[in-house]
Amino acid sequence: MSNTDASDDRLDSLLDRLTIDEKLRLIRGGVDPEERATGYVPGIDRLDVPALSLVDGPMGVRAGTATGFPASIALAASWDPDLAREAGRALGIEAREKGQDVVLAPGMNLLRVPQCGRAFEYYSEDPHLTSRLAVGTIEGIQSAGAIATAKHFVANSQEERRFHVDHRIDERPLRELYLRAFEASVREADAGMVMAAYNGVNGDPMTENERLLTGVLREEWGFEGVVVSDWWAATDGPRAIEAGLDLEMPGMPVSEWHLSESNPITRLIDAIPYWGWLPRQTLARLLMTPWLPDHANPNLFDASHFDRPVREALDAGRLDERVVDRSVRRLLVTMDRFGVLDDDRPEPAAGDHATLARRIARRGTVLLDNDGVLPLDDPDSIAMIGPNVDRAKVGGGGSSAVDAASTTDPLGGVRDRAGAETRVTVEQGHESFETATMGASPFDGLDFGGEGAGGRIDDAVAAASEADVAVVVVQDNATEGEDRPLWLPGEQDQLVSRVATAAEQCVVVVRSAGPIAMPWADSVDAILACWYPGQADGRALADVLFGDCDPGGRLPATFGRRPADYPATDPAAYPGIDDVVSHEEGLAIGYRHFQSADVEPLYPFGHGHSYADFAYGDVSVDEETVEVTVENTADRSGREVVQVYLDPRDRSVERPPRELAGFEAIELGAGESRTVAIDLPDRAGAVYDPDAGAWAWPDDRFEVVVGRSVTDERGRAEVRLRR
């Protein structure tokens, strides 16, 4: 008998011995006695089934203090799946160290609209780049013995009314854009879990979307793991479990879920006088539901939908117990696959990941513009300016928040690096603000243009005028639960513009969740996009400012000149009308839109300067491997991301003018040359044919375009692609 057969028999036997109450216990969340896990499935002691602990999140383990990694979009800006694998492994190690089995990461929803409040938690506007990073991260997490979770399945690309909206997406954009990374996560990275999103797609809530949860995920892609709901996303237990949802989280009303004492909901519930005859949960639901803000989860006070409703459906014969068995088995199979069932996993390797966090932050830093002021050449004086220049931007608000063990802010990082002979002054120039938290507006506590802004800006201008270089650190303040404006909060734009006028040289450091407007872009000397750099913020910034490393990043999302330049500007497309989000733009998101609509971006997808210079040789294509020789013609090492795009020569069907098909991030020493070979993916040049329900190659003639960005072409060659 093979191991698999033995394992199957064992699990079947275990399933047979479980009572229905024990089965229902295994398909929904419960209270973690240690109050560390984000989600918890209590074990079944009678049969030695251990508990299963689930923990956020993509930028660090949300249980006690942990490494505060840079935002996912910063990792994406490195264009390096191997680095993503390292980051994933570190997440998995730290989760295991904290007794957690499942990491609720990576988030891989596409940046369909730049306003997405969780842009910092996702990777890119492009499905190929997103897929490569998602696969790397999942493989990394699971290499550490933890279970990765591909989230949020699918099309959770806006926070505005995320619990209510239904995304109407045609089959081709659904397949060619939104499902791509999830398909790679299952078919290539073999993710152990997939998280069903809050939103609906084409008329069905994702937690009840049988076509996508079972038809596509299971029957087409062969997913054998567990589909877990987002927190309080399920609302109809019997329908959801039939559709393919296996595990309901958190499985209890928010009033029973362990909340930090500081959480406003906890304080409100604790303030409710206890009336013995009415359960506090009922009272909380009655009193608080009417006051829940529009962006709050409407199901917060629901009891589990996988407990009594499922039990009643079974008793009434409306639900077959074999459907429950199916979900229980998937959980046991996944726990067995990852060694949780017998707790026979190797001890997690201890890890200090501070160096890795710093490396990712450096690699994700994008040099958008530079007139030569960078790298700094030991200036006599530097004025550090910005509302939060003395605070590291570890992350944004919401479930991805991490309590970083230690942080370095921009001021501290520059002071440490500049050395004693450089005078470093500091002026905030603007009201500082707290990191937004989910549920509170990102702009709570901000005094826009109050008496503080004007006066403070004058002080910053004075400091800038007295220094060789002014470094202005600006930031936005995004959080899960709300979408983000595309401009810097408060008076930061005015701050930058006025400092730029007064300063001899002005460097702007932007810490944003994603694309942001830069009305001052033409009046400053250099711009760095650092996203949310994590705990190593100041150290990585100093590394780049002083040239100790090359800024390795390239834009994973297009920066438009104006909000109107982006796709989906019609209200029906975003944020939707009557909770229907019509994906009118179809395939034309991100650079696909800018190119097909012939709109010039402020900074294009894939853009980023290096301190070095690169010369490209001729492009050749052998079979489906693209080769090009790249030389670093500078006298210092540098990082380059060689990008490969496909332009269709014929368009027998509607298709974007150009699509990313491959890339490689490389580092070259001064004068070093390397021939880079990039394999085109198996489905290069394919489109999804909804009528055939399959991928097809209606056109076979393409141009392979090699470049430094989607618009900075360095060579091309013809290729024929047909299957």
Active site residues: 230
Q: With binding defined as CB under 6 A, does residue 56 bind ligand GLC?
A: yes
Q: Where are the alpha helices (DSSP H) in 151-260?
A: 171-173, 180-187, 210, 237-243
Which residues within the stretch 144-203 sit at the binding site for ligand GLC (CB under 6 A)? 151
> Given the complex with ligand GLC, which of 162 and 583 has the nearer CB atom?
162
CB of 61 to ligand GLC, least distance (A): 12
Q: Where are the alpha helices (DSSP H) in 63-178?
A: 72-77, 81-97, 127-143, 171-173
- 460 membership: H or E segment, kind and range: helix 451-465
CB of 113 to ligand GLC, least distance (A): 17
Candidates 120, 231, 605, 616: give the one binding ligand GLC (CB under 6 A).
231
> Given the complex with ligand GLC, which of 52 and 104 has the nearer CB atom?
104
Q: Which residue is nearest to ligand GLC (CB)?
A: 399
CB of 26 to ligand GLC, least distance (A): 19
User: If binding means CB under 6 A, how many residues of this protein chain bind ligand GLC?
Assistant: 8
CB of 202 to ligand GLC, least distance (A): 21
Q: With binding defined as CB under 6 A, does residue 104 bind ligand GLC?
A: yes
Query: Is the Cβ–Cβ distance between 44 and 30 less than 8 Å?
Result: no
CA dihedral 174, 180, 183, 187 (to 10 degrees): 150
CA dihedral 449, 455, 456, 462 (to 10 degrees): 140
Q: With binding defined as CB under 6 A, does residue 227 bind ligand GLC?
A: no
Query: Is the Cβ–Cβ distance between 511 and 533 less than 8 Å?
Result: yes
| Six-digit token string for 28 | 């929904």
> Given the complex with ligand GLC, which of 389 and 513 has the nearer CB atom?
513
| Six-digit token string for 208 | 């009840």
CA angle 507, 509, 512 (to 5 degrees): 155
> Given the complex with ligand GLC, which of 272 and 292 has the nearer CB atom?
292
| Six-digit token string for 293 | 């803000």
CB of 43 to ligand GLC, least distance (A): 21
Q: Which of 687, 567, 588, 521 is nearest to 116 (CA)?
A: 567
Which residues within the stretch 489-518 sit at the binding site for ligand GLC (CB under 6 A)? none
CB of 185 to ligand GLC, least distance (A): 15
CA dihedral 138, 140, 143, 147 (to 10 degrees): -40
Query: Is the Cβ–Cβ distance between 54 and 399 less than 8 Å?
Result: no
CB of 524 to ligand GLC, least distance (A): 36
Q: Specify the residue for token string 């940046």.
A: 111
> Given the complex with ligand GLC, which of 231 and 663 has the nearer CB atom?
231
> Given the complex with ligand GLC, which of 195 and 473 has the nearer CB atom?
195
Question: What x-and-dash track marks residues 385-424 binding ligand GLC by CB under 6 A?
Answer: --------------x-------------------------
Give SS3 for 592: helix
Give SS3 for 489: coil
Q: Which of 397, 409, 462 is nearest to 159 (CA)?
A: 397
CB of 149 to ligand GLC, least distance (A): 8
Q: With binding defined as CB under 6 A, does residue 80 bind ligand GLC?
A: no
> Given the complex with ligand GLC, which of 151 and 430 has the nearer CB atom?
151
> Given the complex with ligand GLC, which of 151 and 391 has the nearer CB atom?
151
Candidates 230, 246, 248, 525: give the one binding ligand GLC (CB under 6 A).
230
Q: With binding defined as CB under 6 A, does residue 248 bind ligand GLC?
A: no
Which residues within the stretch 12-41 sit at the binding site for ligand GLC (CB under 6 A)? 38
Which residues within the stretch 650-709 sit at the binding site for ligand GLC (CB under 6 A)? none
Residue 317 backbone class (left: φ over 0; alpha: ψ -120 to 50; beta: rest): left
Q: Which of 512, 610, 608, 514 is nearest to 560 (CA)?
A: 514
Provide the total of helices (H) and of strands (E) in the chain, helices listed first: 19, 27
Query: Is the Cβ–Cβ distance between 534 and 70 less than 8 Å?
Result: yes
- 424 membership: H or E segment, kind and range: strand 423-427
Which residues are at the interface with ligand GLC (CB under 6 A)? 38, 56-57, 104, 151, 230-231, 399
